[in-house]
Amino acid sequence: MKKLSAYLFLILFSFSAPSFADDISDFQIEGMSIGDSLLNYFTEEEIKSSIKNYHKDSTFKTADMYSSKFNIYDGVQAMFRNDDKKYIIHGLIGVNFYENNIEECYAKKNEIFLEMKKLFENAVIDDRESYEHPADITGKSKATTVYFEFGSKDYAQVKCFDWSKDFEDKGNLDNLRIGIFTGELGYWLENVAYN
């Protein structure tokens, strides 16, 4: 509980709303920001060994990073263009796991949503209740997401993943995610990644 309280404090109160509303790169997750090179935080070998293929299209890659340096999250996903040798970050997601405790995930998501709603007064809010996650063709895995979209089309999100038993048996744990994304990456995730 202390970890998540610290997480809320650090995320929601270390940035001023006016600057964040104009520039998503002002937001940090474990000290990293959109537009940074992932090489500033990890070696190329660490990055390459952490790349996962979650999407059918390979325009962007995802590195699942775990580090003892992380103070707030269990892990961080960093997303960058597949052909970018500098590993410029287009998306960051802080992840905390809720193994066999999806109800607590939903409660924390709702709490964070209310704080983000106050902070991002000018953002367009897209509250998607429960929907089938496109990675699970059985339709049994669910995601519940709230998006905060800015005029630039960049966005922030808070989300819970409730994986099906089959996905859990493959090592996927229910989890809470807070993410920041460029508009370009967001379009790809919504329209191309799973096609």
Residue 40's domain comprises 2-191
Report d(CA 83, CA 81) in Å as an integer.
Answer: 6
Report d(CA 151, CA 161) in Å as an integer.
Answer: 27
Q: Say how many domains are in the chain.
A: 1
| DSSP three-state, residue 193 | coil
Residue type, 107: A
**DSSP-derived pairing of the beta strands 175-181 and 75-81:** unpaired
- Residue 4 has what pLDDT? 43
pLDDT average, residue stretch 89-110: 94
> How does residue 72 score in pLDDT terms, banded at 50, 70 and 90?
very high
Inter-residue contact 72 to 6 (CB < 8 Å): yes
Query: Which has the minimum average pLDDT: 53-67, 85-99, 162-176?
Result: 162-176
